[in-house]
A and B are shown apart, each in its own frame.
Chain A
Amino acid sequence: MKDIQYVILEKEHFDGFISRLSSLQRLVAPVAKGYNNYAFEELTSGDQIALNYIPTILPPKKYFLPQEETLLEYSLDKGLHVDASVTYEKMVLFGVHTCDLAGIQCLNMVFSQKPKDYNYLVRKNSIHIIALECTAYCDDHASCNLVNASMPSGGYDLFFTDMGAYFIVHINTQAGDEIIETTNLFERADRAHLRELVKLREQKRSIFKNELSIDPRNIPALFDRSFDSPVWKDLGDRCLACGNCTNVCPTCYCFDIVDEMNLDLKGGRRYRRWDSCQLEPFAKVAGGENFRKERSARQRHRYYRKFRYPVPHYSRFFCTGCGRCTRTCMAEISLKETLSALIGGVPTQL
């Protein structure tokens, strides 16, 4: 730990920090919505922020890959004219947990891969991220340790850790440093602060333990032998094919592209919107053939897209352990239970 990269913010200055930051640019942070639901929303004062929150209904991907976004605009009346454009806004995300940092990192990898998605990248470059450390599990649905997302490992400009009376803040980027400089409420962390942080991280290691009885390194092999597992049929029998699990997933990015004419019929736009591999027509072709007709095949596809298919391409799982898919599922399909069933149902090969 280089102490020059660490500063502290006394709790009494937190409100001041948030209001100064929000006066500079759009600021979004988790807000309590009742019944233990939280959402990232725009705000201007610190007391609106839920510092102790379980994963928001939608992950911060909604700012990187909006539910709906225009890709092309065209006018047809005076000769055809087409413009490809991106709409973006400079903003700061405050309070992003490590699971959601992992989700953003996954999306960054996908959309940076050639051919690059400039709509995503322009927006990504206009968003600064202030992360907030989890010091305990949000609830039983989380499996962040399994996928190595419980500890900070980059992907943020500033990283806040709540130490009770103050926050200790890791400055990770130049942009993060500029936020510290402009808001001007932080003090240099001393050795004692850093020792406290080290202690907190050690405690965390005893709290966050692998949630399932499998070494994560063996997960791809587990999936290699689970393609015909009866577990998928069970999920297929329960799944309602509503697409909630993919909508709330921080790493699901499948989309549809749709044209829409303006009411005056002189022009229109082409936009993309979130789509879901769980919906029945997703893999259907014009001739009527559907390559994933069964719900069981679609649920299996979702799990393989988290734990198997991305591994050779991105060297990581596309599950962040946030537990959102489990919390939102009306049929109570649980990610941890599904993985446990796979682990239990297949003889382990050591």
Chain B
Amino acid sequence: MKKVVIEESHYNVRIGKIIRTREMTGHEKLFEIALGGGVSLEHEPGQFIMLSVFGVGESPISISSSPSLGESFEVCVRNVGKVTGALHKMGAGDEVGIRGPYGNGFPIRILEGNDLLLVAGGLGIAPLRSLINYVLSNRRDFGKVHILLGCKSPEEMLFVNELDLWNRRMDVYYECTVDRGAQDWAGHVGRITTLIPGVHLEPERTFAIVVGPPVMYKFVVKELLAKDIPERQVLLSFERHMKCGMGKCGRCQIQGVYVCKDGPVFNYADIKNVSEAL
């Protein structure tokens, strides 16, 4: 038996160093990671990485920061499994493995010049934030921007400081709702679908971008179509389990489509008749 090192192996990782962590809720933590040596991740909003904790494993994690952040990037991670659990115990200075970025990301060049209706439910804000912050730092390239957010309860709200900034901006229409209110909650209470009818939009020039838990899509899409937004202009980002990120391991396959390389962003027209997708 011979063993050779293959530097160019696509399973090889780059070492990322955690620069900062921020506790966001009881389950979610934000990690700022740098590859070092002035190298940036070079990702597009909506792409993901395979993040690994050595000795524990690898997980697909969406990138939360806009490419405009520069040499570091951020991931917002919920503590739900082995890898994410181990990651939650790590802090500044600790090293993780990074592969990617993978996936198609949001089609920025197509979105430019159009109005955007950005809809995030729960942890869906993690990937969508990469686009929101990109759009806000390139604000004049886009038409009207609507941001609709929903989550279970006020204490599960992510990126609270930024939500406040988005809310205060004159050039953004912002609404937020929670399924269950709290004593000090003065905002909307109800499902995210209840926010959509109230949005004033021009359907022909609006792209709706939706990211949330799988169960949310059907209901949100129904409301968007009721607003006359064309099916091709409804973009959904899918969550699937992945092992390779390169269209081989088979985990994320939906019929003939691989979420990792053909997605994770799909337009509704392409995916609506694909069973197992929604």
Contact = CB atoms under 8 A, between A and B. Distances in A.
Interface of A: 71-72, 74, 76, 80, 82-89, 110-111, 113, 115-119, 122, 227, 253-261, 265, 268, 270, 272, 275, 277, 282-287, 289, 291-292, 297, 301, 304-305, 308-309, 312-313
Given A254-B251, A268-B55, A291-B254, A83 B5 contact: yes
B9 A257 contact: no
A275 B3 contact: no
B276 A292 contact: yes
8 contacts: A86-B9, A110-B248, A113-B247, A257-B11, A259-B57, A283-B240, A283-B251, A304-B255
Interface residues on B, range: 35 or more
B9 A84 contact: yes
A91 to B, nearest CB: 10
Interface of B: 1-13, 15, 52-59, 78, 80-81, 84, 95, 97, 213-215, 239-241, 243-244, 246-256, 275-276
Given A261-B55, A291-B276, A283 B255 contact: no
A276 to B, nearest CB: 9
Contact of A268 (B3, B9, B54): B54
B4 A85 contact: yes
A182 B32 CA distance: 60
A136 to B, nearest CB: 35
A270 B256 CA distance: 28
Contact of A72 (B12, B246, B250): B12
B252 to A, nearest CB: 8
B249 A254 contact: yes
A259 B251 contact: no
A119 B6 contact: yes
A82 B52 CA distance: 12
B256 A312 contact: yes
Given A87-B1, A282-B251, A309-B255, A117 B240 contact: no
A297 B6 contact: no
Given A71-B11, A259-B58, A117 B248 contact: yes
A253 B80 CA distance: 28
Name the residue among B84, B249, B252, B254 with the largest chain A CB count within 10 angstroms: B249
Contact of B57 (A110, A257, A265, A291): A257
Contacts of A117: 10, 248
Nearest to A257: B243
B52 A259 contact: yes
